[in-house]
Amino acid sequence: MNYRTLTVAVALIAVRLVVPFASAEPKAYDTVFYKGKAAGLRIVFEFDHGHVEASNVKITEPASGKTTKFYLSGRDGQTGTGKIRFAPVKGAKKEVLLEMDPLGDPQSTIKGSYTAAGKTVPFTLTKRKKH
């Protein structure tokens, strides 16, 4: 066996030993999915446990079938209250307020409210098994 063949064989063995460990690494956070309905609205909440800034809420209105996606708009005024606020990217006067600790463990149900055009609709979201 020559030196080049020996080098290639050692490199292949090293790769086979390292790759399984690198690919078996757990994710830094897990996405937990919630769903619910209120006043005809379909509500889906994707909670990225451990990376709250990546979480979002989608609300589909029954009349138009239009879905609005809400993103975390900060915890201004909600810090320590157990509530987080979501708002759409575009300047619509809508918001979603969820009663939850963003740093705590995912709950089985989450209470919240959706405010649009001066009306507030309370709702409860239930944790789903999978997406």
Average pLDDT of span 73-80: 58
- For the cut 60, the answer to whether the pLDDT of residue 94 exceeds it is yes
How far are the Cα atoms of 10, 43, 56 from residue 86, in angstroms, in the given order? Answer: 53, 13, 7
The pLDDT value given to residue 71:
93
Which residues are paired to 124 by β-bridges?
Answer: 111
Asked if 130 and 33 touch (Cβ cutoff 8 Å), the reply is yes
Name the residue type at position 103.
L
- For the cut 80, the answer to whether the pLDDT of residue 78 exceeds it is no
Within the chain, residue ranges assigned H as helices are 3-23
Q: Phi/psi zone of residue 7: left (φ > 0), alpha (ψ -120 to 50 degrees), beta?
A: alpha
Which residues are paired to 57 by β-bridges?
Answer: 45, 70
Which residues are paired to 125 by β-bridges?
Answer: 110
